[in-house]
């Protein structure tokens, strides 16, 4: 489903007032069912009005972010101004990493590609990824969403015993497919770490494949932070998932090599 159109000019002249009234109704994307979302989108296309498109995007921005699945349930807010290079012993390396993240965020304002941040725990991968996304939301009006893959795996555990979790997973999946910029945080944690790598459970693989496949080749960006390496992922996941999520372009990779654990970054 295409949500945002580069040119949104009506072919039907004046907008039907009844359609515009329905578009102005405050319906939260986060609370919409799939059917409600489709109807809202169809009305937007009927209206053929840039203002309607703008309002819909605002709703999408609020709703996708609201569906974020945070590690430990704790929301993180971070901007590039918060990146304190003095907390690292190698200040130049910290500055280099921050500058690359900033540069990629600038490019993503008008382009779409995947980005992977590799490094040990506590070096600031999530913080810089969120800084990138915050910049894209504030300066390019893009919707953003953060999902801890470990927390997502826990939700999948609960879906077998909790009806509300099953419904939540359906709504999260739709947002994962539609959001402009998605962060999969600590990707690979669900498959273990050094010396304990295991194949990720089938329901998690199926879920992520549907999401990854829907985001390929369109106007979507997926950012990944991970403590693992590509060889680990080959043991954890079907290669079709990895090929759709992990960038192969070294210019779109950020390596936090030799950086120390400073959890408050």
User: DSSP letter at 121?
Assistant: T
Please compute the mean of the pLDDT values over residues 55-84 and round it to a whole number.
Answer: 92
The reported pLDDT for the residue numbered 32 is 62
What is the percent of the chain where pLDDT is above 70? 79
What is the percent of the chain where pLDDT is above 90? 65
Give which of 83, 65, 61 is closest to 75, Cα–Cα: 65
The reported pLDDT for the residue numbered 217 is 82
**CB-based burial of residue 34 (10 Å sphere; 0-12 exposed, 13-18 middle, 19+ buried)?**
exposed
The reported pLDDT for the residue numbered 77 is 96
Other Cβ atoms closer than 10 A to 142: 24
Average pLDDT, the chain: 85
Please compute the mean of the pLDDT values over residues 27-33 and round it to a whole number.
Answer: 57
What does each C-alpha distance from 82 to 129, 138, 145, 147, 149 come to in angstroms? 12, 16, 20, 21, 25
Q: Which residues contact 214 (CB under 8 A, 6 or more apart)?
A: 177
Residue 101 pLDDT exceeds 90: yes
97-116 core/surface letters (b: 16 or more CB in 10 A; e: else): bbebbeebbeebeeebebbb
Task: Please report, for the chain, the start and end positions of each structural domain, with discontinuous segments joined by +.
Answer: 17-66, 71-255
Residue 7 pLDDT exceeds 50: no
Give which of 209, 191, 193 is closest to 201, Cα–Cα: 191
Least confident of 38-47, 162-171, 252-261: 38-47
Residue 29 pLDDT exceeds 60: no
Give which of 169, 53, 51 is closest to 40, Cα–Cα: 53
57-92 core/surface letters (b: 16 or more CB in 10 A; e: else): bebbbebbbebbbebeeeeeebebeebebeebeeee
How far from chain centre, in Å, is Cα 1? 17
Condensed to tens digits (0 to 9), the pLDDT of residues 194-240 reads 668 999 999 999 999 999 999 998 799 999 999 999 999 999 999 99
In the numeric block, the tokens 């290669």 are attached to 239
Condensed to tens digits (0 to 9), the pLDDT of residues 146-203 reads 999 999 999 999 887 777 899 999 999 999 999 999 999 999 999 877 668 999 999 9
Is CATH 3.40.50.300 what the domain over 71-255 is classified as, yes or no? yes
Q: What is the pTM of this model?
A: 0.81
The reported pLDDT for the residue numbered 263 is 73
The reported pLDDT for the residue numbered 164 is 87
Q: How confident is the model at residue 13 (pLDDT cuts 50, 70, 90)?
A: very low
116 versus 50: the higher-pLDDT residue is: 116
What does each C-alpha distance from 258 to 106, 121, 232 come to in angstroms? 26, 12, 20
Q: 241-244 long-range CB contacts below 8 Å, 24 or more apart?
A: 241/205, 241/208, 241/209, 241/212, 244/209, 244/212, 244/213, 244/215, 244/216
Tokens at 81, concatenated: 């101004």
């Amino acid at each position: 489903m295409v949500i945002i159109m580069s040119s949104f000019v009506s072919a039907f002249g004046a907008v039907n007032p009844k359609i515009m009234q329905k578009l102005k109704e405050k319906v939260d994307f986060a609370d919409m069912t799939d059917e409600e979302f489709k109807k809202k989108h169809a009305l937007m296309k009927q209206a053929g009005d840039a203002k309607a498109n703008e309002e819909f995007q605002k709703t999408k921005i609020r709703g996708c972010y609201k569906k974020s699945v945070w590690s430990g349930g704790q929301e993180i807010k971070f901007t590039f101004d918060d990146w304190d290079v003095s907390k690292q012993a190698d200040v130049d390396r910290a500055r280099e990493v921050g500058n690359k993240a900033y540069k990629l965020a600038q490019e993503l304002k008008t382009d779409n590609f995947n980005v992977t941040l590799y490094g040990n725990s506590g070096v600031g991968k999530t913080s810089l990824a969120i800084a990138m996304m915050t910049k894209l939301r504030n300066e390019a009006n893009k919707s953003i969403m953060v999902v801890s893959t470990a927390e997502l795996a826990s939700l999948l555990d609960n879906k077998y015993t909790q009806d509300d979790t099953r419904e939540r997973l359906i709504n999260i999946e739709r947002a994962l497919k539609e959001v402009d910029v998605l962060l999969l945080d600590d990707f690979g944690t669900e498959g273990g770490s050094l010396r304990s790598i295991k194949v990720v459970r089938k329901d998690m693989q199926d879920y992520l494949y549907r999401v990854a496949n829907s985001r390929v080749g369109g106007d979507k960006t997926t950012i990944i932070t991970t403590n693992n390496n590509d060889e680990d992922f080959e043991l954890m996941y079907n290669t079709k998932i990895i090929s759709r999520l992990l960038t192969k372009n070294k210019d779109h990779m950020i390596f936090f090599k030799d950086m120390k654990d400073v959890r408050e970054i």
